[in-house]
Amino acid sequence: MLRLFDTRHRQVEPILPAGARALRMYTCGPAVHRHAHLGDLRSYLFADLIRRVVERQSVRAMVCQNITDIDPLGEDQVLAQGRSAQDAFRRDSLALNLRQPEHTPRTSETIDLVVDLIAKLIEKGYAYPVPDGSVFFDAQSFRSYGDISGNRLDALHPAHRIDGVDPRKRFHADWALWKAAHHDLTWDTPWGRGFPGRHIGCSAMSLAFLGEQVDLHTGGVDLLFPHHENTRAQSDAAAGHEVVRHWAHGEHLLFDGREMAESTGNVVPLSDVTEAGLDPLAVRLALMEHRHRQRMDLTWDALHAADRTVRRWRQKVAEWAESPSRPIAPVAEDVQRAFNDDLDTPQALRLLRELERDPDVAPGSKFETFLHFDHLLGLDLSTEIGRVPVLPPGAAELLDQRDRARGAEDWPEADRLRDELAGLGVKVADTPDGQTWAR
């Protein structure tokens, strides 16, 4: 069974009990006031890999991914920007082969759920309204605050404000569940007209669509505090027990040594990759070269290398498809073990590269193994089957012999085999990633 590093428990552990046949997972979705960049997409790839691994183990995944279509500052321009950003995110998700969640609720369409949850928190003594119509969560009423991030209330300092601590709050770390306002994107409530705070929507949607027992909540490490800490407090206070069993986070993505964020001006959307002539799934492969909870520095060189690998593997799979089928290679158990071990995708990829080069494994076995794991990799490795010209009789064996000769640095033998292949009508070229051929 899949084991992940649990942020709250600070250890790697199974995300489901033995024999479980369903996974309820909530993953924080995109905010549509801006377009997603590769750092954002890394978080969604993390959730996608979790889903693919558990489904391979005959576990049904039930995923809820929210869409935050209300600007946390209450600015109305989100209405104009939102549709464009949402459409772009949908295109990016499809281009990266991200499985679509079962539920994608929008904050603006679940206001009733938010209002009901806030009313429940007020009733239970965890929240309080103030005269202007806003409502705040009473942070000191939730005693285990800080379990996920380690940020305890007694160690938190007031956020900087020009006019000092917000006088409406009982305690400086309290946060707004409902913000009083009067503009286009606001709603009437028992406390006054306004809009939801930035954290309450995830609690309301998670409880409504997944219930009061959620197996896993995922997101980027940037959401760890305060968003996930506040979300946990809201949900647990309303339910009266621990709602989420496990919390898991993906680390930051750098690009060319700098953090990828609007604040740094270092933003690379997926469209920049495709406009450079690279396959979008090269991004998927490049991101899998590092574990999800390791900070990663992505570069254009790494993306170009991943693009070459994706294209080479597709060609190899098409070539291997011409050989008789053979059982999956024994190394498959080690590859699956790597995926199960806190999504050790770098190890899984190393094992597959070794299998690709192993002269003792039959092409038909390589074919079956690579396609078996493409259900997890999501690289569309079968797309070239039928497109690659069929090799003439005996050419596949000569190519394998030449590959072994190159590996042994027997260049005279490699040249002789190149000439023999040319006599069969097969042109061979050597590249940094191995030999290629064409009719």
Residue pLDDT, tens place only, 93-132: 999 999 999 999 999 999 999 999 999 999 999 999 999 9
**pLDDT tier for residue 205 given thresholds of 50, 70 and 90:** very high
Mean pLDDT of the chain: 92
Q: Is 61 exposed, middle or buried (0-12, 13-18, 19+ CB in 10 A)?
A: buried
Round to whole Å and give the CA distance between 11 and 273.
35
pLDDT at 10: 97
Supply the pTM of this predicted model: 0.87
Decide if pLDDT at 83 tops 80: no
- 83 token code pair: 């549709």
Residue pLDDT, tens place only, 266-320: 899 999 999 999 999 999 999 999 999 999 999 999 999 999 999 999 999 999 9
- Which segment of 206-220, 227-241, 414-428 scores lowest on mean pLDDT? 414-428
Q: What is the DSSP letter of 391?
A: P
Which residues make Cβ contacts (< 8 Å) with residue 78, sequence separation at least 6?
32, 33, 69, 70, 71, 185
Decide if pLDDT at 394 tops 90: no
Long-range contacts: 167-171, Cβ < 8 Å, 24+? 168/130, 168/132, 168/134, 168/136, 169/136, 170/128, 170/136, 170/138, 170/140, 171/138, 171/139, 171/140
Only one residue has tokens 């574990």, namely 291
Residues β-bridged to residue 219: 249
Round to whole Å and give the CA distance between 305 and 285.
10
Q: First CA to last CA across the chain, in angstroms?
A: 45
Q: What is the DSSP letter of 164?
A: -
3-state secondary structure at position 137: strand
Contact between 142 and 100 (Cβ < 8 Å): no
Q: To the nearest whole percent, how much of the chain has pLDDT over 90?
A: 77
Helix runs in 136-269, H state only: 200-210, 229-239
Residue range 217-225: mean pLDDT, rounded: 96
**What CATH number should be reported for the domain whose range is 3-250?**
3.40.50.620
Round to whole Å and give the CA distance between 117 and 167.
24
Round to whole Å and give the CA distance between 206 and 227.
14
pLDDT at 411: 92
Which residues make Cβ contacts (< 8 Å) with residue 418, sequence separation at least 6?
402, 428
| Cα atoms found within 13 Å of the Cα of residue 430, Cβ hemisphere only | 11
Query: Domain extents for the chain?
Result: 3-250, 267-388, 390-439
Decide if pLDDT at 235 tops 60: yes
Decide if pLDDT at 368 tops 70: yes
Contact between 348 and 338 (Cβ < 8 Å): yes
